[in-house]
Structure 1
Amino acid sequence: MTYNIHHANPPSKEETGEIDLDAIVHVIRKENPDLVALQEVDVNTKRSGKGNQAEIIAGKLGMKAFFGRAIDHQGGFYGVAILSRYPLLETSVTPLPEDAAPASEDRVLATAKVKLPGGMVIRFGSTHLDVDSPENREQQVKAINAIAAKENMPFIVAGDFNAVPESSAVRELDKRFTRTCVSDCAPTIPVDKPDRAIDFIAYSKEAPFKVVSQKVIPERYASDHLPVVATLRY
């Protein structure tokens, strides 16, 4: 699963700033994924309160969590995260480039090594690309592709790419990865009347995966994005 959780602030509660972590937990629990890439996650911020949102969500689900800080925000941190049913090993956070628009919000790729049932070991990553600059997004994907090119194990990357399938950034992604949705991707944003797909799950072309299913979950309360769920067989 990949899910931009909007720091657990439901769009209908944006003016009041209400935080509803249980709504996010409910969405994830219903789909019962093994691995989750989260974006827009708060840790100890003024708007969301004390606590690591990724760890709180993981605790309620019986999962492991790893948070990747992108920026300092309101006295705490803001970034992406990985949730997993299996132990997370060799975790890392890699800053992504933003040469085209250096004033843009910093972006990162968080990754972890995961040993799956049956013994396969994979790299799983969560990312959230630049929202404003197409050139930054393309450069950020090139950086992710360069990391994937050096990886000797199957690599799954998922997240909010802030780019539609026809964009230069997603075309760049497709050079190194296979998206679980290749054509006619169901829209993931805006949540009230979705009209474009910008959230994707993809795996390295060398990985021995086959897509069993791919779907966008029509859950319109918990966040301003719809979550994406894919089942891969190996």
Structure 2
Amino acid sequence: MTYNIHHGNPPKSPGTIDLPAIAKVINQHTPDLVALQEIDKLTKRTGQIDQLKQLAELTGMFYFFSKGIDFEGGEYGVGILSKYPIKNATRYPLPSKEGLEAEARSLALIQVSMTNGKPLTFACTHLDLNNEHRMLQVQEINRILGKSKTDVILAGDLNLTSTTPAMKILEQHFTRSCTENCAPTIPQDEPKEEIDFILLKRGSRMKVVSHQVFPNIEASDHLPVMAIYQIPD
């Protein structure tokens, strides 16, 4: 699953933080791995709560946080929840174009063992709104993940659509979980664009069983996306 949680703030309730609503979505659909974006850690606006740690407690999952920026006395970034114990976890800073204002972005990476005992790398990111930054960021992601010997799933809010040049660069190494007639993911009330994606590294023997965007969920300004992959014996 990938889900931009808008720091736990339902868009129709300004100033409200409702992490149990996010946890309810995750618990209802029982994903093995979750890529989360727009997470606060110990910031003033969310009451100095470690949001990812709280979501891990509410879902019974392991977790890893990757900072984007310092924010309101704490940190703001992306994170991963995993039903499997996390064997390794790494934060990679993503580049931006020199001389052009940018909010720092990162790539969160964990490695787990799948049910067949083989390793899986799961990555989460939230790319920049600016295309010039995004182009550099997808190239860096390809550099980091492209030569991986293990299966890799990349998920997140990419702030781009399937037809943009940056997606074409990613698709040199990755295949989207949905490639035709894909449901939009934002905004949550009247979704018009698909900018949240789950992708599998090319060459994997894993196969897509299903891809879903869950509608009518008001916990964030994005809708959650979930893909199910079949793991080979």
Shift of 1:120: 1.5
Secondary structure of 1:159's partner? strand
Secondary structure of 2:12's partner? helix
Distance 1:100 1:212 in 2: 41
**TM alignment of 1:75-224, pairs within 5 A:** 75-99=73-97, 102-131=100-129, 133-224=130-221
Distance 1:19 1:39 in 2: 15
Contact 2:189 2:216 in 1 (8 A): no
Secondary structure of 2:171's partner? helix
One-letter amino acid matched to 2:157: D
How does the TM-score come out when normalised to structure 1? 0.96
One-letter amino acid matched to 1:138: M
Residue in 2 aligned with 1:65? 63
Contact 2:175 2:201 in 1 (8 A): yes
Secondary structure of 1:156's partner? strand
Distance 1:179 1:199 in 2: 10
Unaligned runs of 5+ in 1: none
Distance 2:6 2:99 in 1: 23
Residue in 1 aligned with 2:33? 35
Contact 1:128 1:161 in 2 (8 A): yes
One-letter amino acid matched to 2:146: A
How does the TM-score come out when normalised to structure 2? 0.97
Distance 2:82 2:216 in 1: 21
Distance 1:6 1:126 in 2: 15
Shift of 1:101: 6.0
Shift of 1:50: 2.1
Q: Alpha carbons of 1:217 and 1:101: their partners in 2 closer, same or farther (altered >3 Å)? A: farther
Secondary structure of 1:12's partner? coil
Shift of 1:183: 2.1
Distance 2:165 2:123 in 1: 21
Shift of 1:100: 5.8
Identical residues among aligned pairs (%): 47
Distance 2:166 2:197 in 1: 12
Distance 1:135 1:202 in 2: 22
1:55 maps to which of 53, 56, 60: 53
Unaligned runs of 5+ in 2: none
Residue in 1 aligned with 2:9? 9
Contact 1:100 1:136 in 2 (8 A): no
Q: Alpha carbons of 1:177 and 1:74: their partners in 2 closer, same or farther (altered >3 Å)? A: same
Contact 1:86 1:114 in 2 (8 A): yes
Deviation beyond 4 Å, 4+ runs, structure 1: none
Secondary structure of 1:26's partner? helix
One-letter amino acid matched to 2:76: Y
Secondary structure of 1:11's partner? coil
Shift of 1:184: 2.0
Over residues 27-70 of structure 1, what are the superposed CA-to-partner deviations in whole Å (9 max), with x where a residue is unaligned?
A: 11111000000000000001001221111111111100100011
